[in-house]
Structure 1
Amino acid sequence: MAETELTDLFFLVGRRLRQGYARRLEPLALNPGQARALRVLADASEPLRMVRLADELRIVPRSLTPVVDALEAAGLVRREMDPANRRSTLVLISPEGRRLAGLARDARREAGQELFAVLEEGQRDRLRDLLALVEEQFR
């Protein structure tokens, strides 16, 4: 068997993690993008402007609109005009949205636990440290 490139392995493992996460989100009627938006809103200390939410998600604002539309249609968020800037829109998470954000966080953790169960605790710690080192260079 030919040696698999590190980048190929990383993408394959990432895909398996995303698939496991998406499968766990299905009963919540959420997709990963919606779950991510809910997590960011749930973790924020105040309602976020659409532009700020897009920045936090690292997407362009026009890509955020359908995500917020779907969350709003499901009663998980609502939009309000920003009283400090009438041209801006705030996104507020509902109590049900906050509850689902917690369940989505659990689903993400479970997907990771399932994927990395093959590793011993020390191996998981080492992998976490290595990935944190790589990520740190881009902050």
Structure 2
Amino acid sequence: MFVADKYAQPFLGAWQGAGAVPASAAPTVRGRAWCFRSTDVRTAAEPVGTGDPSLPEGDVGDEERGPVEVCSLTWRTDRYGWVSGTPGSKAHGSPTYSVPSLVACVLTEQVPGTDPATVVSVFPGGEGTCATLGLPGYR
């Protein structure tokens, strides 16, 4: 289970479903995803909107996008400084960065004070990454 608190070290436990981890799952939370810097869920992760109209102007916007597409944009613009060490700028003419192969998995998050929920989480990696992490793929 991932603890969704940016100020605490997140952690992952066993998949909350009964029995073996399913090959794929649909998340219960829509409109946002977690972009992870690495396949270690205890490292940097940032929540991103995937089309929530309540997002500020100039962010992802009203058009719904897939979680991998949105996380690719955060890598390409280095929004969180994962590539350069300094968060990127959205200004015209800003440098763009290489985007690693990304894969969408579904993990269980625990927001303090709420019931656990499943949410899309995007990790650097490819086929087999979700299974290696003990997570179902996103469908």
TM-score bucket of the superposed structures, by smaller chain: under 0.3
Q: 1 or 2 for the larger relative contact order (CA 8 Å, sep ≥6)?
A: 2
Q: Which has the larger radius of gyration?
A: 1
TM (normalized to structure 2)?
0.25
